[in-house]
Amino acid sequence: MSDGKKTLLVTGGSRGIGAAICRQAIGAGYRVAVNYVSNQAAADALVAELKAAGGDAFAVKGDVGSEADVIAMFEAVDRAFRRLDAFVNNAGIVDLKARVDEMSAERLERMMRVNVVGSFLCAREAVKRMSTRHGGKGGAIVNISSAAARLGSPGEYVDYAASKGAIDTMTMGLAREVALEGIRVNAVSPGITETEIHASGGQPDRVARMQDLLPMKRAGTADEVASAVLYLLSDAASYITGAILNVSGGR
């Protein structure tokens, strides 16, 4: 683009933490591609809001658990913005509360396909566009992890926690792999945060039930997580790579 504005793609960007990242990114001067998997109405509403705020944004449908969708999503960004400067691996799923001895192979395969394989595929496509090895001009990647990776989520969703542990490891390994190619790779690890993900996991009351167990006695907000993401994407974090920033209220 002729005005030199940086561009950002956020997976799972139509709600929750992803939407908060998109809003803050527009405020920081980015062009934003909002990925969604099924809720087009939410994505379109967010894009309209971002445009009304004077930003340049568009929605792109795609299931990160599908390689074909991931490739098509990045190609749509290529066509719209002709560059990619920043990428947030935010899309992810959680399932219903269950013990490991109650989990089906189908559940486990879906969890790992979306949260782990999908994140790897998206990172792959981002690196292909940003890396100086591939003719790119560098960039920044932020992966959304979870405090569950450290805590294990026993009795709730150990599979989700394990998938986020994989994200932490991928963050550290990829950061070192592309450190000399102009790309910084970091992760943000939220704790209990007020978003819709708890309801999608069958526990709409989880925030209220858990907040008294937290050191700060309250859940975090999507904006608080988004602020950490925007910091790691920014030039203010120019010497930070391979870091996992806990945004968990001390948990």
The residues assigned a catalytic role are: 160
Q: Tell me which residue of 8, 16, 148, 143 sits closest to 80, measured CA to CA.
A: 8
User: Does residue 165 contact residue 111 with C-beta atoms inside 8 Å?
Assistant: no
In order, the DSSP letters of 175-230 are HHHSGGGTEEEEEEEE-SB-STHHHHTT-TTHHHHHGGGSTTSS-B-HHHHHHHHH
Going by the DSSP 8-state scheme, the letter that residue 84 receives in this structure is -
Instruction: From 157, 158, 195, 233, select the one nearest 12 (Cα to Cα).
Output: 195
Q: How far apart are the first and last CA of the chain?
A: 42
